[in-house]
Chain A
Amino acid sequence: KQEVTQIPAALSVPEGENLVLNCSFTDSAIYNLQWFRQDPGKGLTSLLLIQSSQREQTSGRLNASLDKSSGRSTLYIAASQPGDSATYLCAGDETSGSRLTFGEGTQLTVNP
């Protein structure tokens, strides 16, 4: 059974800092990998989707990479801003379109 772990559980940084969030899988048989953002009391917003044939995706200040051989993914946030404060979740599926297995999330606080 796939288990997803996210490290650290919480992170507090000053504005402007570059940071890395980590996600690891017990079973490296990940097909697609998504990173989401969750704001308090809100749903999940998809940030980046790394499809099975890809190794990384970029959107603005965000870059996500996936190393299937090691079962790890990282989300890099450049020049962090207070508006980036949220919980970041990673989730993977094992076959095309199958259930997503989520990590517990990293709660990020960016201080002005």
Chain B
Amino acid sequence: EPEVTQTPSHQVTQMGQEVILRCVPISNHLYFYWYRQILGQKVEFLVSFYNNEISEKSEIFDDQFSVERPDGSNFTLKIRSTKLEDSAMYFCASSVYVNSPLHFGNGTRLTVT
């Protein structure tokens, strides 16, 4: 069964550094998402992306965050200057249509020191 693939599985970075989290959504999916889960907290929405533009973003998704679909397969989340509070598990998800089930990747655990 097709899967959403995320790399790396674990990223450690120093505060103030830029990180890029990478995702390969399922190939025929049209809608792409980033969510995150801080340890012990709920899964939180960050951003949704369709037709090469952001559809919706949360209050968390400030100017330090950006997303890109640089080619036909990758979907990336960039954090320009990481903060300690950005430490979390970041999940990429995709769906075929707007009302179809979301398929999640296994996540990237980001640790900011």
Would you call B43 an interface residue if the criterion is a C-beta within 8 Å of the partner chain's C-beta atoms? yes
Whether the Cβ atoms of A99 and B48 lie closer than 8 Å is: yes
Would you call B31 an interface residue if the criterion is a C-beta within 8 Å of the partner chain's C-beta atoms? yes
Assess A43 versus B4: contact at CB under 8 Å? Given A99-B45, A99-B48: yes
Q: How many residues does chain A have at the interface if contact means C-beta atoms less than 8 Å apart?
A: 25
Question: Which residue on B lies nearest to A91, using beta carbons?
Answer: B43
Would you call B102 an interface residue if the criterion is a C-beta within 8 Å of the partner chain's C-beta atoms? yes
Determine the distance from Cα of A97 to Cα of B41 in the docked complex, in whole angstroms: 23
Would you call B18 an interface residue if the criterion is a C-beta within 8 Å of the partner chain's C-beta atoms? no
Q: How far is the CB of B93 from chain A (nearest CB, A)?
A: 8
Inter-chain contacts of B44 with A (CB < 8 A): 102
A99's contact among B58, B100, B104, by CB below 8 Å, is which? B58
Would you call A89 an interface residue if the criterion is a C-beta within 8 Å of the partner chain's C-beta atoms? yes
Contact code string A19-61 (vs B, CB < 8 Å = 1, else 0): 0000000000000101010000111111001011000000000
Q: For chain A, residues 77 to 112, give those with C-beta under 8 angstroms from any C-beta of chain B.
A: 89, 91, 96-105
Whether the Cβ atoms of B43 and A96 lie closer than 8 Å is: no
B99's contact among A41, A43, A96, A105, by CB below 8 Å, is which? A96
Inter-chain contacts of B103 with A (CB < 8 A): 46
12 new A-B pairs (CB below 8 Å) besides A44-B104, A99-B48? A34-B101, A36-B104, A43-B6, A43-B107, A46-B102, A52-B99, A96-B98, A97-B98, A97-B99, A100-B43, A103-B42, A104-B42
Q: Which residues of B contact A (CB under 8 A)?
A: 4, 6, 31, 35, 41-45, 48, 55-56, 58, 91, 93, 98-107
